[in-house]
């Protein structure tokens, strides 16, 4: 089995620390000839260039990271293979001509182009199944695995909140409560804090207006046509792929009440009612004040009875469950996902976590595939971060 590395969630943009570029280039240099699978969100096109045409967005992404562009091109030209899987932040890479756009951006020769591949969904090699994982996260799951995630709650917030404010710190803290985010807005962005908070609410209420009966539902016939094309190179029979389609999560924005709850807007409305009640009571309107305050307190009590934090940790849980369903639907022996930005390792499943934004001090996480095509195994690796003073990847067992 060819040496295979799976690297996740680089989120390359103008705001990515240059140490990430340096460490990725070093990783590629140390694994000449290997197959490297970028398991989605290689770029952060939804935050960096949401309005650019696909070809320009991909070229723009590489132009912002010339060191990475040169290292990837060298790796492919020297006989290595690179596979890009589409993530919810860079679905453009998985479009029909995404491979050609990448080859042009990298300046690859004709012979090398066959070793630079893309997929709009998953990569399959025997018992190994690799995909980004957002299909099992309701906030980021599109209506169909091959549909654009542009109308999902996660991408909506990136385009309507992150991109206009430049609040890139929140790209990797989407599992926090709004109160935590509001508080940190002033710490992180100072005088721009009020604008950041305003844009959050603007994005939240516009998301509510696009949810439930107003949610976008693209043409199912277009999905079927694209699925037929995808099956040509999928590495799975049509029945297994159809079963896999059925395992995707239902998008949050397809349900108005789910969107309201996910954005904590019920809690916001209850808080406003309490404040309005206090004002009414203070101005002599005691009956109105008691009614508003009581309704607000009741709403807060009901909301908090369902849990203080409705989202923290849930992405990792959803992806672990998603990996089980992938294995059941397709017979995969090893499922490798990204998206969660958190390391996960158990028998039959590994999550790469984010190479760019590691959570922990061991280094930049990735997965190396060992064993045979029929019986693949995941070995957890950590690449030393720039300035750590270490050489070579560490292995955790």
Tell me how far apart the alpha carbons of residues 75 and 78 are, in angstroms, rounded to a whole number: 5
Contact call for residues 20 and 52 (beta carbons, < 8 A): no
In angstroms, the CA 159 to CA 47 distance is 6
* Nearest by Cα to 121 from 251, 248, 254: 248
Closest to 334 (Cα-Cα) out of 57, 96, 131: 131
CA–CA dist 330, 336 (Å, integer): 14
Beta partners for residue 6, in sequence order: 37, 367
Calpha distance 82→352 (Å, rounded): 16
H/E stretch holding 36? strand 35-38
Topology classification of domain 4-136+331-395: Purple Acid Phosphatase; chain A, domain 2 (3.60.21)
At which residue do the structure tokens 């042009």 appear? 104
When pLDDT is cut at 50, 70 and 90, the band that residue 391 belongs to is: very low
pLDDT for 51: 67
Residue 149 has pLDDT above 70, yes or no: yes
Side-chain half-sphere exposure of 4, counting CA atoms within 13 A: 23
Structure tokens at 13: 């943009």
pLDDT > 90? residue 254: yes
pLDDT in tens, 51-75: 667 668 888 889 999 999 999 999 9
Q: Is the pLDDT of residue 20 over 60?
A: yes
Is pLDDT at 397 greater than 60 in this prediction? no
Contacts of 383 (CB under 8 A, 6+ apart): 23, 26, 27, 355, 363, 364, 366, 393
- CA nearest 128: which of 1, 317, 42? 1
Distance (Å, rounded) from C-alpha 72 to C-alpha 76?
Answer: 6
Rounded distance, CA 300 to CA 130, Å? 42
DSSP letter for 249, please: P
Q: Which of 339, 336, 335, 369 is nearest to 354 (CA)?
A: 339
255-281 residue pLDDT tens: 998 898 888 777 777 778 888 888 888
Which of left, alpha, beta for 303 (phi over 0: left; psi -120 to 50: alpha)? alpha
- Token pair, residue 389, equals 């003073």
Stretch 378-382: mean pLDDT, rounded?
A: 96
| Dist. CA 328–CA 298, nearest whole Å | 44
Q: What is the pTM of this model?
A: 0.88
- What rounded mean pLDDT belongs to the chain? 87
Contact 48, 13 (CB under 8 A): yes
* Segment 94-134, tens digit of pLDDT: 888 888 999 999 999 988 999 999 999 999 999 999 999 99
The torsion defined by the Cα of 347, 345, 337 and 200, in degrees rounded to 10, comes to 140
* CA 215 distance to own-chain centroid: 20
Sorted by where each begins, the domain ranges of the chain are: 4-136+331-395
Percent of the chain with pLDDT over 70: 90
Residue 29: CB partners within 8 Å, gap ≥ 6? 71
Q: What percent of the chain has pLDDT over 90?
A: 50
């Amino acid at each position: 089995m060819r040496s295979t590395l799976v690297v996740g969630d680089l989120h390359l943009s103008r705001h990515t620390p240059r140490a990430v570029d340096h460490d990725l280039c070093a990783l590629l240099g140390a694994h000449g000839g290997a197959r490297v699978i970028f398991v989605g969100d290689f770029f952060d096109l939804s935050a960096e260039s949401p309005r650019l045409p696909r070809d320009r967005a991909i070229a723009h992404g590489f132009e912002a990271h010339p060191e990475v562009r040169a290292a990837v091109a060298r790796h492919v030209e020297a006989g290595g293979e690179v596979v890009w899987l589409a993530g919810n932040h860079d679905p453009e890479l998985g479009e029909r001509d995404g491979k050609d756009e990448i080859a042009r951006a990298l300046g690859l020769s004709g012979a090398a182009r066959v070793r630079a591949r893309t997929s709009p969904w998953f990569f399959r090699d025997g018992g190994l199944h690799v995909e980004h994982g957002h299909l099992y996260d309701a906030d980021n799951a599109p209506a169909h695995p091959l549909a654009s995630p542009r109308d999902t709650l996660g991408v909506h917030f990136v385009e309507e909140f992150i991109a206009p404010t430049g609040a890139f710190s929140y790209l990797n803290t989407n599992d926090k409560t709004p109160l935590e985010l509001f508080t940190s807005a002033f710490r992180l962005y100072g005088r721009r804090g009020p604008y950041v908070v305003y844009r959050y609410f603007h994005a939240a209420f516009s998301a509510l207006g696009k949810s439930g009966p107003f949610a976008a539902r693209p043409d199912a016939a277009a999905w079927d046509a694209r699925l037929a094309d995808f099956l040509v190179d999928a590495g799975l029979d049509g029945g297994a792929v159809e079963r896999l389609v059925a395992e995707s999560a239902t998008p949050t924005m397809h349900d108005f009440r789910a969107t309201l709850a996910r954005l904590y807007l019920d809690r916001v409305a209850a808080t406003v009612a309490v404040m309005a009640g206090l004002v009414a009571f203070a101005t002599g309107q005691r009956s109105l004040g008691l009614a508003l305050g009581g309704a607000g307190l009741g709403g807060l009590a009901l909301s908090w009875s369902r849990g203080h934090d409705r989202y923290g940790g849930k992405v990792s849980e959803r992806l672990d469950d998603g990996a089980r369903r992938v294995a059941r639907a397709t017979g995969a022996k090893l499922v490798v996902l990204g998206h969660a930005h958190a390391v996960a390792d158990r028998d039959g499943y590994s999550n790469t976590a984010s190479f760019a934004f590691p959570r922990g001090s061991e280094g930049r996480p990735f997965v190396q595939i060992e064993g045979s095509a029929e019986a693949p195994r995941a070995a957890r690796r950590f690449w030393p971060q720039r300035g750590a003073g270490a050489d070579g990847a560490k292995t955790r067992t």
